[in-house]
Structure 1
Amino acid sequence: MAFGMKDVLNGAKSVASSNLVQGVLNNYSEMSTEDMQREYGMYLMDGEEITVGFKLVRDALIFTNRRIIFTDKQGATGTKMRVESINLFSVVDVTMETAGFGFDDSELTFTYIKTADLKAHQVQYVSHKLEFPKKYNVQPLYKLLQELAYNNCLRINGLD
């Protein structure tokens, strides 16, 4: 399944003052795909490509053409790292909250099916909330995830 995030996010710019300041505020700052590839390329599957990536102090959020990857560097040195993947075909819902006046940040929450069999009788849903700097235009990412969620719901329910 192609995930044309690079094309959709071309115009979206992160205007964060610095990664450290945004990290302290729990906001993701956009990173170049080249930097993400250099640092996290060894975790990609064959044929998988990074389309957009974000950094939160030492942690990362990476969107590829197949999945969403979260990295969590742990310990004082950050040499221990946890990697979590969410398959794009399991995303079924997304909500967005844009930044308001003052210190409000933009938020994007997506829900996905954790159960391996998407048509199982006991389906487990999990949600992730992401916070972005006030000046980051989160709308293109919302639109892309919403289209993905819509198409996944159609496919899962045999309506496509």
Structure 2
Amino acid sequence: MGLFNGLFGNYSEVSVQELQEQYGAYLMPDEKIQTGFRLIRDTCIFTDERLILIDHQGVTGKKTRVASIHLNSIYEVTLETGGLGFDDSELTIHYIVSPYYKSNNLSTSAYKFEFGKRFNVRPVYTALVSIAHQNNKRWNG
């Protein structure tokens, strides 16, 4: 079922131990992995500080792109749950990419995750929307 989900763009959950063994070298000192998901070769890791997006490229997957979305830059999270048929759940994170969050010329971006129907995406959504809410209060309070 994991490969079937991967072929259709769905992330599946990976154990923290496995993520630590494979990607521990990408962590900052004292950073802790909370959870993570894999899409065939690509991986998304949620830590206590950031989201780490690991994209294995090329035929062999030896070339790797690692990107981070800092949790304190997330300002909006949207969720579209799966409907009937082959619909999947989509979770989109909107975040600030500018180094200064209170500048007049903010630069933003978004990242979309697709989860299969059987995956309960609501706890992930709740955690991320709580972070976005706290960020908005901190920036605007």
Letter of the structure 1 residue corresponding to residue 91 of structure 2: L
Which residue in 2 is equivalent to 1:26? 9
Q: Aligned runs of 1:57-76 on 2, under 5 Å?
A: 57-76=40-59
The percent of aligned pairs where both chains have the same amino acid is 47
Equivalent residue of 2:101, what SS? Answer: coil
Q: Aligned runs of 1:1-160 on 2, under 5 Å?
A: 17-18=1-2, 20-157=3-140, 159=141
Equivalent residue of 2:65, what SS? Answer: strand
Alignment gaps of 5+ in structure 2: none
Q: What is the Cα deviation at residue 76 of structure 1?
A: 1.1
Letter of the structure 1 residue corresponding to residue 9 of structure 2: N
Q: What is the Cα deviation at residue 156 of structure 1?
A: 1.1
Structure 1 distance, partners of 2:12, 2:108, is 27
Letter of the structure 1 residue corresponding to residue 94 of structure 2: T
Query: Runs of at least 4 residues of structure 1 off by over 6 A?
Result: none
Q: What is the Cα deviation at residue 22 of structure 1?
A: 1.1
More strand by proportion, 1 or 2? 2
**Structure with bigger RCO (C-alpha 8 Å, 6+ apart):** 1
Letter of the structure 1 residue corresponding to residue 139 of structure 2: I
Q: What root-mean-square deviation, in Å, do the aligned CA atoms of Structure 1 and Structure 2 show?
A: 0.6
Structure 1 distance, partners of 2:139, 2:96, is 11
Alignment gaps of 5+ in structure 1: 1-16
Structure 1 distance, partners of 2:42, 2:117, is 19
TM-score by length of 2: 0.98
CA deviations over 1:28-73 (Å, ceiling 9, x no partner):
0000000011110000000101100000011101000000010110
Number of corresponding residues? 141
TM-score by length of 1: 0.87
Structure 2 distance, partners of 1:21, 1:49, is 30
